[in-house]
Structure 1
């Protein structure tokens, strides 16, 4: 067998195996007749540290839904930018966080306080940089299967540098959906939340969603997740390339360590195929077929998770090598301590 056939055969095998990743990115879960019945039981808890620029979009999206939840709580985590005033002006109930106790992460502490003050039987923890599409809140509730349920927001890209998040977001979702939990939007019954120990059980973890999922499953609580296209959206790291690098570096290595081995093998196989499509051209021009096949597959994947440009898929080596560079960076000292929202985050 000549080198051309070896390259083409390996590339085809990797491409076919990677279809499992594509399948994982579909929306999961069956809709109820309506999610409206759950709204009167729902407390939305938004941990917020210096989120004055994000909160209006989220809170306005909640106010524009067809019906309102029982309450919307914003836990102001020692912000310095007017977060509390903005939240109150947009109709939320503001909870001023108590000082951060030793051994706690800021987000987990804010979530724990919000849950303690919430009146609803159903709790939704929601990041401030998310927002709901029209009818999106009811659609998420209609898909809720019980237990702990998270939604991966649809990634809205507005600036060219944000295209560099393509592989980060894609791999994050592929490693999570449909059985693990994401941190941007978590829906859970209060009794299940308490059964798993709440955020107190993961108070010192930088990837609190991953660790909380494990705690909940140990307590017998079902965990599940789905993609959020058409229901929930977000824009990641709009403050520039440095914040994007710092954000993805934070806890990157810990996230890889928490990913199931079978999923890591699948992701590694896919990335190997992408690299083969690129460097195989040094062996045979026929490898261009492999490159284009992976570019088309990547474009289809990205369409399910965000409005990424088709050029990002066509010229995928640029975001791919950026992903690898940040991953390698996270393995060193840069991945252990990161400055994030005015706090030094130690991920070690």
Structure 2
């Protein structure tokens, strides 16, 4: 085995160790409570723009919840489809937004809400079981019922192209700075966006979505607004509680969605965490390069070592992905393809944000 092969082995193995430090754990809410006694009235606020086909699973899952002391406010953000009619058919109270984006819709809903706690949900989420909502509320109360508790929903995948999102899903979680081996040593980057639970008084004390209106990454900005007021922001995984299916409309929507958020959102990731992410990705490509080059060398040791290193990356990437979504294990045999998609879309997002200063989302051109 050549000295170059040894360097590749060291880099690849070291990157695997860094990966473990980078994504040490992803806690999920848990509750041993057996009833809904003592939980306050809840307002569920769902900003929705052209979500006629995607909001139905969420509304169905809310109808199935055994905890029933809540109201549903769907804020129609200038939809051109039947979103409002679908929401009304499930008994939701439909509010007409001002057509100024998600933050504006959330703020409008919060002002109309009657609950002591507010739960902001993206329209493409849904609760997994009949006690998911109750368990989430109990856990929030057990943690002191202050500030934000945000869940990153478990990503459900149905079509092959949706696997392109796998590395993005991992990095979105890691980029919050909270899931390394050092726990909360690094300041949170903000809040997850699809599922945000907070106390009503804390929300208005922070300025809520009105304060962050115009922010591209409204979830991160909202979390920062709470932190500025000395309020806690807890971010957790949603596995077993809440799920979502991202970008079922097609690959174009997927690219547009990640482009909208990723280059901007990565600026909130702590430099140390970002460095670990970069090294982990470099290590993945190094392992793949080592394997390919060893196949052209008549050296059994190099083939065995490179194959073992590549196998370890397959297992680790699949392990990380299993925390954030139901991605098929077979796809990780070609994990460099998914790493490459991540880099390509990230660079495209970086160019759109930093050179053209605009991104597109749901028919709107957003200046950044």
* TM tier, smaller: over 0.9
Q: Describe the superposition over 1:62-87 as per-residue Cα deviations: whole angstroms up to 9, x where unpaired.
A: 00011223211100111110111000
The answer to which of 12-21 and 33-42 deviates more is: 33-42
CA RMSD of aligned residues (A): 1.8
Of 318, 336, 348, the match for 2:357: 336
Alignment partner, residue 20 of structure 2: 19
Q: Describe the superposition over 1:74-127 as per-residue Cα deviations: whole angstroms up to 9, x where unpaired.
A: 001111101110000011111111353xxxxx0000000000000011001000
Instruction: Give yes or no for the alignment of 1:143 onto 2:144.
Output: no
State the alpha-carbon separation in 1 of the partners of residues 29 and 58 from structure 2.
24
Instruction: Give yes or no for the alignment of 1:129 onto 2:148.
Output: no
State the alpha-carbon separation in 1 of the partners of residues 31 and 67 from structure 2.
18
The answer to which of 327-336 and 9-18 deviates more is: 327-336
Instruction: Give yes or no for the alignment of 1:113 onto 2:108.
Output: yes
Alignment partner, residue 329 of structure 2: 310
Structural mapping, 1:70-109, within 5 Å: 70-100=70-100, 106-109=101-104
State the alpha-carbon separation in 1 of the partners of residues 35 and 215 from structure 2.
32
State the alpha-carbon separation in 2 of the partners of residues 41 and 20 from structure 1.
40
The answer to which of 72-81 and 260-269 deviates more is: 260-269
Instruction: Give yes or no for the alignment of 1:301 onto 2:320.
Output: yes
| C-alpha contact (below 8 Å) 1:39/1:68 kept by paired residues | no
Alignment partner, residue 290 of structure 1: 309
The answer to which of 8-17 and 288-297 deviates more is: 8-17
State the alpha-carbon separation in 1 of the partners of residues 83 and 253 from structure 2.
19
Change (3 A) 1:198 1:318: same
Between structure 1 and structure 2, the one with the greater Rg is 2
TM-score by length of 2: 0.88
TM-score by length of 1: 0.93
Q: CA deviation at 1:263?
A: 1.6
The answer to which of 274-283 and 221-230 deviates more is: 274-283
- Any idea what SS the aligned residue of 2:365 has? strand
Q: Describe the superposition over 1:199-227 as per-residue Cα deviations: whole angstroms up to 9, x where unpaired.
A: 11110101011111111111100001111
Instruction: Give yes or no for the alignment of 1:240 onto 2:219.
Output: no
Structure 2, unmatched stretches of 5+, are: 180-187, 295-301
Instruction: Give yes or no for the alignment of 1:158 onto 2:158.
Output: yes
Alignment partner, residue 54 of structure 1: 54
State the alpha-carbon separation in 2 of the partners of residues 38 and 3 from structure 1.
64
- Any idea what SS the aligned residue of 2:94 has? strand
State the alpha-carbon separation in 2 of the partners of residues 2 and 340 from structure 1.
49
